[in-house]
A and B are shown apart, each in its own frame.
Chain A
Amino acid sequence: MSELFSLLDVTLLNSTLRFVAPILLAALGGMLCQRAGIFNIALEGLMLVGAFGAVVGSHLTGNALGGVATAMLAGALMALVMAVFVVSLKGDAIVVSIAINLLAVGLTAYLLTALFGVKGAFRPTDLQGLNAISVPGLAHLPLLGPLLSGHSILVYLSWVFVFASYFLLYRHVWGLRIRGVGEHSAAAQTLGVNVAAIQYGVLILSGVLCGLAGAQLSLGNVTLFVENMSAGRGWIAVVAVMLGQANPFGVAATSLLFGFTDSLGFRLQGLNLPSQLTEAVPYLATLAGLFLVAMRRRRALGT
């Protein structure tokens, strides 16, 4: 028992929000798409493109924020491709998403070699990562200090976006349109809403958010790019959207839960457990989350 408690120490607290941020950012993007009636399971690929863009941008500009900007642009461009195929060309969203995920793996690996002549991983010595920002007044509090302070700008932004997306969805006319398109696109269309424009908008927004998620992975949690480094987190985000019922606060809560299991897995490695077991923790937790989604749905249907 004492071993279990010793796990819940300061390092775990501090790492939790770092692990939550990529999942949360991607999940918020997935949530917006869901609300506009698009089942976006390309979060994984968009995140990977963002992680790559971040490292390229930081390397070229010598500035981590330049990397963040490039990550947003890269995510948005990939999402634009997805929007062209899903919205304009009416391709099947699931098949397009699978293609985008695989394209992201191939394209980042191709560009890694074509641009920098390396394979597998890219870690230039001068690569600038995101600085940890300590919040004055918070940093020295017990427990809360290590939990809330000393994170990258993107970690704080991810929580700002939770409230921003709530405002957008429920307090702004665009949100009303987004929800209208998702709930009944034909009705929204007859009321003069440009359905295609809304769907393009949410997809590109999800690309930007996934880009930020990727930047947090490659410039926040570590400072390097590794092939396929999103490692399933985009899929965890997909489940977070489902479990959070595409509601900003629900999505935040489920992302917090999945991010916590991610950091717990990371923390468990210190206990001499096999790394494969600890790596499996977040996926098993996500599978369990999927069961919760199903049971709640069933209960809602009254069967």
Chain B
Amino acid sequence: MTGPRAWWNLIREPLLSVLGAFVVGALLMAASGHNPISAYMAMIQSSLVGSGLTSTLGRATPIIGLGLAAAIAFRSGFFNLGGEGQFVLGGLAAALVCLHAPLPGSLLIPTSFVAAALVSGLWAWLGADWEFRFGVPLLISTLLMNYPARLLASYLVSKPLRDVASGLPQSHAIPESAYLPGAISGRFHLGLVLVVIAVMAVSWLFLRTVVGYRMRMTGLNARFARYGGIDVGRLGRGVMFASGALAGSIGAIQILGVHFRFIDGALTKPFYAWTGLMVALLARSRPVGVLVGGFFFAAVQTGGFGMERAVEVPRELSQVLQALIILFVAVGAQRPVRDLEEGEAHV
């Protein structure tokens, strides 16, 4: 399915959804007394040119990464809504390693990533394990687990790990030897490269490996996959571990490449995980689609700030546009999950 017609079929609905959302967004702006054309112009100018482009790419890094993490789970039929908690715990684990592990500087970066991937992978694995072992619906358990994860991190950096001198709820700064290459110079740090490599790796996994084939088959029809001899319980636990591990690694990228300490709310307030989830839905869980869609949503967000500065349209319009896109995408979407009731059938 590589002909131009197949490609068009794949991107037709996302494109129409984007178009529809921007039309509705224009109506909303007109209704609240703004000129939508100048607002959209300001949005494009401030997100795709010069320093705007730099900041779009910086924002795109976590969004693409978290979109890919969601896509791994969605494509296999597991609705992982816990990206936010997995992202936060990964960042927390990375910060803890950098602050407390008695390691030489050169080992801090790889150890942080391993710790972040393990912690978040296991956290996500729990959701899968509970579904297959007890029939607890993963869609809801993963979502609910976001709250304790976020609150735990918030507690740790407000009390035991707090950098009291800074006066803010945040951990101490990590040593410079743990900074990702390129992080000090500006926004182009190694994170973007790592994320692009991850996109290619997952694409290869889906299309060229047996595991990827099993994942796709399970995503299309779990019962049929089980009938065909796939151990869906094992696959699901592995998929959720991988999805969580990737989300956790993105947390590490943000700490080691952007914030250099764990700041309460810094990973959750920009809505990265939810934006990533939307990107995965828009891209129908295709890795290359996540790359393009993640860049696009990052541009919409960066553009939102520029738009607010230039023409005083509230930047929250970006969030409205994104949600509208997903609303349109939902029409004609193949159901990316098994029925909730199927929890029992896994036994």
> In the docked arrangement, what's the CA distance between A269 and B329, Å?
43
| 1/0 contact string of B152-187 vs chain A (CB within 8 Å) | 101100110000000000000000000000000000
Closest CB-CB distance, B263 to chain A, in whole Å?
15
Is the Cβ of A276 less than 8 Å from the Cβ of B330? no
Which residues of chain A are within 8 angstroms of B314 by Cβ–Cβ distance?
A: 109-110, 112-114
- A230 nearest CB across to chain B (Å): 13
Q: Taking A291-B136, A303-B344 as contacts, is the C-beta distance between A95 and B319 under 8 angstroms?
A: no
Q: For B140, what are the chain A residues with a Cβ–Cβ distance below 8 Å? A: 41, 235, 238-239, 242, 290
Residues of B within 8 A of A279 (CB): 147, 151
Residues of B within 8 A of A100 (CB): 323, 327
CB pair A89 B331 closer than 8 Å: yes
Contact check: which of B134, B154, B155, B158 meets A295 at CB < 8 Å? B134
Check if A105 is an interface residue, CB within 8 A of chain B: yes
Interface-centre pick from A95, A235, A238, A301 (highest chain B CB count, 10 A):
A95
Q: Is A8 on the interface with B (CB-CB < 8 A)?
A: no
Q: Assuming A94-B337, A290-B144, A298-B344, is B320 touching A107 (CB within 8 A)?
A: yes
Q: Is the CB of A274 within 8 A of B159?
A: yes
Is B343 an interface residue when CB atoms closer than 8 A count as contact? Answer: yes
| CB within 8 Å of B: which A94-110 residues | 94-96, 98-100, 102-103, 105-107, 109-110
Residue of A at shortest CB range from B160? Answer: A274
- Is there a chain A Cβ closer than 8 Å to B235's Cβ? no
Measured between beta carbons, the chain A residues less than 8 angstroms from B81 are 98
Residue numbers in A under 8 Å from B318 (CB-CB): 106
Q: Please choose the segment from A49-57, A166-174, A280-288 that sits at the chain B interface, where 4 or more of its residues have CB less than 8 A away.
A: A280-288
B300-330 at interface with A (beta carbon < 8 Å): 313-314, 316-320, 322-324, 326-327, 329-330
In the complex, which of the residues B152, B278, B313, B314 has the most CB atoms of chain A within 10 Å of its own CB atom?
A: B314
Q: Is residue A297 within 8 Å, beta carbon to beta carbon, of the partner chain? A: yes
Instruction: Tell whether, in the assembled complex, residue B323 and residue A94 are in contact, meaning their CB atoms are under 8 Å apart.
Output: no
Q: Is the CB of A276 within 8 A of B155?
A: yes
| Contacting pair B278 A290 (CB below 8 A) | no
Is the contact region of chain A dominated by helix, strand, or loop, or is it mixed?
helix
Contacts of A297 in B (CB 8 A): 135, 343-344
Query: Are A283 and B322 in contact, with the CB atoms below 8 A?
Result: no
Residues of A contacting B258 with CB < 8 Å? none
How many residues of B are counted as interface, with CB atoms below 8 angstroms from the partner's CB atoms? 52
Tell me the complex Cα distance, A293–B343, Å: 12
Identify the closest chain A residue to B34 (Cβ).
Answer: A114
Q: How far is the CB of B36 from chain A (nearest CB, A)?
A: 13
Residues from chain B with a CB closer than 8 A to the CB of A96 are: 327, 330
Known: A115-B32, A280-B151, A291-B134. A109 touches B319 (CB 8 A): yes
CA distance A100 to B158 in the complex (A): 33
B152 to chain A, nearest CB (A): 7
Which residues of chain A (250-303) have a CB below 8 Å from chain B?
274, 276-277, 279-280, 283-284, 286-287, 290-291, 293-295, 297-298, 301, 303
Q: How far is the CA of A211 from the CA of B317 in the complex (A)?
A: 23
B330 to chain A, nearest CB (A): 4
In whole angstroms, how far apart are the Cα atoms of A114 and B25 in the complex?
A: 13
Query: Does A159 make an interface contact (CB < 8 A)?
Result: no
Partner of B154, one of A90, A94, A276: A276
Q: How many residues of A contact B (CB 8 A)?
A: 49
Point out the residue from A39, A95, A107, A112 that lies within 8 Å of B330, measured CB to CB: A95
Does B276 count as interface, using CB distance less than 8 angstroms? no
* Given A279-B151, A294-B343, A297-B344: A287 in contact with B141 (beta carbons within 8 A): yes
B290 within 8 A of A: no
**CB-nearest residue of chain A relative to B340?**
A39
Which has the most chain A C-beta neighbours within 10 Å: B79, B327, B333?
Answer: B327
Cα(A262)–Cα(B144), bound, Å: 14
Query: B144, A92: Cβ atoms under 8 Å?
Result: no
Contacts of B347 in A (CB 8 A): 303
CB distance from A182 to the nearest CB of B (A): 13
A8 to B153, CA, bound (A): 29
A161 within 8 A of B: no
In the complex, which residues of chain B have a beta carbon less than 8 angstroms from the beta carbon of A66?
A: none
CB contact between A283 and one of B144, B281, B320 (< 8 Å): that residue:
B144
**Residue A232 is within 8 A (CB to CB) of chain B in the complex:** yes
Which residues of B75-100 have CB atoms within 8 Å of chain A's CB atoms?
79, 81
The answer to whether A95 and B135 touch across the interface, beta carbons within 8 angstroms, is no
Q: Is the CB of A102 within 8 A of B159?
A: no
A280 touches B316 (CB 8 A): no
Q: CA of A105 to CA of B320 in the docked complex: distance in angstroms? A: 8
Interface residues of B in 106-164 (CB under 8 A from A): 130, 134-137, 139-141, 143-145, 147-148, 151-152, 154-155, 158-159
8 other A-B residue contacts (CB within 8 Å) besides A89-B331, A276-B152, A290-B144: A99-B330, A110-B28, A112-B316, A114-B313, A235-B143, A276-B154, A280-B147, A294-B130
Which A residues fall within an 8 A CB radius of B? 39, 41, 81, 85, 89-92, 94-96, 98-100, 102-103, 105-107, 109-115, 232, 235, 238-239, 242, 274, 276-277, 279-280, 283-284, 286-287, 290-291, 293-295, 297-298, 301, 303
8 nearest CB pairs, A to B: A106-B319, A103-B323, A113-B314, A91-B330, A276-B155, A95-B330, A109-B316, A99-B326
